[in-house]
Amino acid sequence: MVSTKNGRLLFHSVPVRDGIVPGTLRYDESETIDLDAVPLNGGALFKLLAVSADPFLTALMSPAYSESAFEHLTYKIGKPIIAYAVIVALRSEIPTVKAGDHFMNMFPLEEYFIIDSLPERTVPLPNDVGIPWSTYVGVCGMPGQTAYMGWKEYSKAKKGETTFVTTGAGKFVIQMAKRDGLKVIASAGSDEKVELVKSFGADVAFNYKTANTLEILEREGGIDVFWDNVGGVTLDAALQASRSKARFLECGMMAAYGATDGPNAVIKNIWNIVGKSITMVGFLVWDLYEGHLDDFYTTVPKLVADGEIKYREDVTRGLGSLEDAMIGLFKGTNVGKAVVIVADE
């Protein structure tokens, strides 16, 4: 019998303010597992390889979500949290899973775990193009899916139009918009990130912490498409600067997570949705799987492998580093998609 430490990332305490603070999560190595002998009981044993650090995970820490459609995802004190991750099967008694198979979905953050069956919306990853597994929680994972599927489904982009893109999956969206012939305005939270979004093709890029968003949008003549992962005052500025019949794609509200007062909690220009005939759609990426998932995995990994879609990752190693990576998201210190590498093959 050979025991292996089995690190887990546990939900330790509910944050007392917006975002995430030190001590919210706790890395625990008290458990061990015998990888060769642990009973599978008809299930499969998996190893955690890479994890995505995403702002929306903080919403799953809020008690408010325990009474929402996300009830089954909300975190429980003392239990492993879940997040988008790439896993590999080590042993399996599931007929459709064999050792060496890789998958992406939201999984419990344990370095090794056994499940009876793959959860709904699990994506198999043959990775025929040979890109790093970390890309499948970034540009080829949920953030990339959100950008590609949301843009194709809702942007109704026309050559010559102008789009305003905020953070999150925005770097991929910038490239989608340029491929469709749009002028791209992009915001970022530091001068370094401004240069990064320019390298992805943005025609106009600015630091929203030091520049006036509304002034820039109006100076550039207004916007036809808004890709919003921020909400709050940025959404308010976009509503004011929108052209008639603009399309607003709402895939996140990072500035408004947990906000109950202050500028990010109040949208003053909401009437413009009516006055300017704006189409505003909020969406969850898995609602678009039926019409777009096969196309995404047929198209995007090859574009990434060929260098036609650029990406940048902000990588940390070790499951216990996810909390710091999450804090970095809200402080704006990450440059690129925040990814945690838990283990190599």
Quick one: tokens of 82? Answer: 């879940």
Q: What pTM, to 2 d.p., does this model score?
A: 0.89
What pLDDT, on a 0 to 100 scale, did the predictor assign at position 64?
A: 64
Residue type, 29: E
- Non-local (6+) Cβ contacts of 86 within 8 A are 49, 50, 102, 103, 104, 125, 133, 134, 136, 137, 141
What pLDDT, on a 0 to 100 scale, did the predictor assign at position 260?
A: 56
CA distances from 115 to 44, 87, 102 (A): 6, 12, 14
The string of pLDDT tens digits covering residues 169-214 is: 578 999 999 999 999 999 998 899 999 999 999 999 999 999 999 9
Residues of the chain scoring pLDDT < 70: 1, 17-19, 64-72, 168-169, 255-265
Neighbours of 324 (CB within 10 A): 17
What pLDDT, on a 0 to 100 scale, did the predictor assign at position 70?
A: 59
What pLDDT, on a 0 to 100 scale, did the predictor assign at position 74?
A: 83
Which domains, and CATH codes, for the chain? 4-138+311-341 (3.90.180.10), 142-285 (3.40.50.720)
Quick one: tokens of 8? Answer: 């887990």
What pLDDT, on a 0 to 100 scale, did the predictor assign at position 252?
A: 82
Q: Using CA atoms, how far apart are residues 25 and 27, in angstroms rounded to an integer?
A: 7
169: Cα separation from own chain's centroid: 7
What pLDDT, on a 0 to 100 scale, did the predictor assign at position 264?
A: 59
- Non-local (6+) Cβ contacts of 219 within 8 A are none
Q: Is residue 154 classed as helix, strand or coil in its secondary structure?
A: helix
